[in-house]
Structure 1
Amino acid sequence: MENFGTNSHQAPAGADLIKDGADQTFMTDVIEPSKDVPVLVDFWAPWCGPCRQLGPTIERAVSKAGGKVKLVKVNIDENPGIAGQLRIQSIPAVIAFKDGQPVDGFMGALPESQVNDFINRMTGEVSEEEVTALVERAQEALDQGDLGGAAQDFATALQMDKDNAEALAGMARVHLAGGDPVQAKAILDNAPETLKSAPAIAAVRASMELAGEAQDAPEVSEAEAAVHRTPDAGTWHALGRARLGAGDMDGAAEALLELIAMDRDYDDAAARQLLLRVFESAGAGSELAKNGRRRLSSILFS
């Protein structure tokens, strides 16, 4: 295989892009070139079956990238030093270097489509569909209580698109769910100005405000018992706030709608304003917001 040229980031596919590396030449093979373009280091060994599967796949993917990324293949049997420093414990292992530093990687013989996705992420060439799919998967993980999985996917989406409001809002929601509202607020406060008015960001802020609204609310069981005893506007209001405190936005909306149907001007329409904030927190496109607004309109204009 050929060595890198000094200005090979503009080279055609297959030229000066793939080479065998060694511990002694790691600086010139990887660190220095990575200041111009990402360099992938494939740690492998001749006895490793998955390595033989990944090798041709990653070489094809790098060649297709047309000079936007380079590949250095390191046989760990002959060159154990760098692998040891990077704590490579399983092969094949691919580590991506940018600006002289390891920034990402993967293990195992991934299919070519996933290798291409990895290269696209390293070169900044990602599709909107890829980011959307990651955000959706992260949201599903968050809904299922998998905070670690959600955080990882939201973070990856932000690496691919740092201005993705849904991913940024998702990271804030992960911290809220983990009981760290301070970090959630910091994420929102540090968002680019162009994103601060995005619906997803506004929805998280509304969720944080609602959490404060419910701080001194009664227990849900206590509030439900009060409604059964005396179903008036005050007890329905207390039940709505109690359900908010428990994270039950659907139940909170139901209680507040019952209240408004009973007394639409209760407490200077405070319940109506609280209900609108529940809709905002759920998101304008959510079923809760869409169905709730229809019911609210029916109550107010009947």
Structure 2
Amino acid sequence: MLPHQRTAPDPLARSRRDGHLDPKRRKTIPMTDIIGGTPEGGTQAQLVKDATIETFQADVLQASLEVPVVVDFWASWCGPCRTLGPILEKQVQARGGKVLMVKVDTDKNQMLAQQLRIQSLPTVMGFIGGQPVDGFQGALPESQVSQFLDRLIDAAAQAGLGGGKSPAHDPKALAEMGEKALEENDFATALQAFGASAEASETGSDGQVTAFAGMARAALLGGSPEQAEQFLGMVPEAKRDLAPVAQVRAMMELSGGSDVPPEAVENALKAAEASPQDPEAHFVLGEALADAGDTEGAMASLLRSIELDREWREGAAREKLLKIFEALGPADAGVKSARRKLSSLLFA
């Protein structure tokens, strides 16, 4: 297991909790080629379309990088769906391209509905910047549907979308969007955002290298180490020692032991408990915990090994600890705490 992997969040959880949009969450890039032309010049067919699991990424995730997209999850047997659908279409068309509508028949796209955790029909989700930012369930009155669309459009405008304008290609903002997606375990969107950041960055710049490293992290956390290697291969040789690249390399090393038997941690824990003053026992436990993805426990065990004998095996525990620091990054709260403890042990 890789450090900081979490279960995927419910895409509507934030909107259910807050009841409003957070328009400053993401920056965007123009994606006019996805839907054909600018939103202002779109035809009615472009304003409302049907999507499948095969077209969802292009019709929704990528299209919402330029214009907000509202997705209606429905089924033919659902009475409230037949009430809401025409209202939603009417309100979308009345806004002349400021928002697009995509319809998903959940009976024909059950896997997609499961992936997005659609639990009741109709369900409507609003997407901005490749992410779900608001939504509702049930057939709302037309006035509330109108208010929902207006909120979505206002949020998109504050983020730089809509009105036929193409938002600036901001590599830093796109990279921030990728980081946000990684925090939410949305590896596909993270890969897309980092890729856009790489394209918008100056060739060979540190910003582009950071974007390549972000692509590699997204691929690695998404379970594709081979693809991660390919992305790291895009980094110029002269810049392969930069911190973002080194972080991904460290993550790869930590994930290399993910096939360790489940009993390895238990056995190592028993050994450490049986020999509490043995630096090797705590080192072995730290390695086992790191392989299992428990970086917090690993750091604690390695610090204990250093406390018992900082020179054991030529500082092996310290070397392993620094590798974990590198993989998690300097901003990680656990790393900050462990660094302070390490300093106190080494310089006391």
Superposition TM-score tier, normalisation by shorter sequence = 0.5 to 0.7
Alignment of 1:17-96 (within 5 A): 39-40=37-38, 42-44=42-44, 48-55=90-97, 57=98
Deviates more, 1:156-165 or 1:264-273: 156-165
Structure 1 residues 129 and 166, CA gap change in structure 2 (3 angstroms)? closer
Report SS of the residue matched to 1:290: helix
Contact (CA 8 Å) 1:134, 1:157: kept in 2 or not? no
Structure 1 residues 140 and 213, CA gap change in structure 2 (3 angstroms)? closer
Ranked by relative contact order (alpha carbons within 8 Å, sequence separation 6 or more), the top structure is: 2
Whether 1:292 aligns to 2:338 is yes
Structure 1 residues 261 and 152, CA gap change in structure 2 (3 angstroms)? same
Equivalent position of 1:182 in the other structure: 226
Amino acid of the structure 1 residue aligned with 2:174 = V
2:297 to 236, 251, 257: 251
CA apart distance, 1:300: 1.3
Deviates more, 1:123-132 or 1:203-212: 123-132
Equivalent position of 1:147 in the other structure: 187
Structure 1 residues 211 and 204, CA gap change in structure 2 (3 angstroms)? same
Q: What CA distance in whole angstroms lies between the structure 1 residues aligned with 2:285 and 2:317? A: 11
**5+ residue gaps in structure 2?**
1-32, 48-88, 100-148
Amino acid of the structure 1 residue aligned with 2:340 = R
Structure 1 residues 133 and 186, CA gap change in structure 2 (3 angstroms)? closer
Q: What CA distance in whole angstroms lies between the structure 2 residues aligned with 1:136 and 1:188? A: 17
Equivalent position of 2:178 in the other structure: 135
1:212 to 249, 252, 256: 256
Q: What CA distance in whole angstroms lies between the structure 1 residues aligned with 2:162 and 2:241? A: 32
Q: What CA distance in whole angstroms lies between the structure 2 residues aligned with 1:139 and 1:187? A: 16
Contact (CA 8 Å) 1:124, 1:160: kept in 2 or not? no
CA apart distance, 1:260: 0.5
Q: TM-score, normalised by structure 1?
A: 0.58
Q: What CA distance in whole angstroms lies between the structure 2 residues aligned with 1:39 and 1:114? A: 18
Alignment of 1:221-300 (within 5 A): 221-231=266-276, 232-300=278-346
Equivalent position of 1:65 in the other structure: none
**5+ residue gaps in structure 1?**
1-33, 59-107
Contact (CA 8 Å) 2:271, 2:281: kept in 1 or not? yes
Structure 1 residues 120 and 200, CA gap change in structure 2 (3 angstroms)? farther
Of structures 1 and 2, the larger Rg is shown by 1
Equivalent position of 2:235 in the other structure: 191
Report SS of the residue matched to 2:96: helix
Contact (CA 8 Å) 2:217, 2:248: kept in 1 or not? yes
Q: TM-score, normalised by structure 2?
A: 0.51
Contact (CA 8 Å) 1:141, 1:150: kept in 2 or not? no
Report SS of the residue matched to 1:126: coil
2:245 to 181, 184, 201: 201
Structure 1 residues 277 and 121, CA gap change in structure 2 (3 angstroms)? farther
Amino acid of the structure 1 residue aligned with 2:253 = E
Contact (CA 8 Å) 2:182, 2:190: kept in 1 or not? yes
CA apart distance, 1:215: 6.3
Structure 1 residues 123 and 193, CA gap change in structure 2 (3 angstroms)? farther
Deviations 1:222-272 (A, max 9, x none): 211221122211211111111111112111111100000001111111111
Contact (CA 8 Å) 2:171, 2:196: kept in 1 or not? no
Structure 1 residues 295 and 183, CA gap change in structure 2 (3 angstroms)? same
CA apart distance, 1:158: 4.2
Q: What CA distance in whole angstroms lies between the structure 2 residues aligned with 1:200 and 1:191? A: 11
Equivalent position of 1:14 in the other structure: none
CA apart distance, 1:160: 4.8
Deviations 1:128-148 (A, max 9, x none): 663254133212212xxx434
Q: What CA distance in whole angstroms lies between the structure 1 residues aligned with 2:193 and 2:286? A: 33
Equivalent position of 1:171 in the other structure: 215
Contact (CA 8 Å) 1:243, 1:249: kept in 2 or not? yes
Count of residue pairs brought into register by the alignment? 213
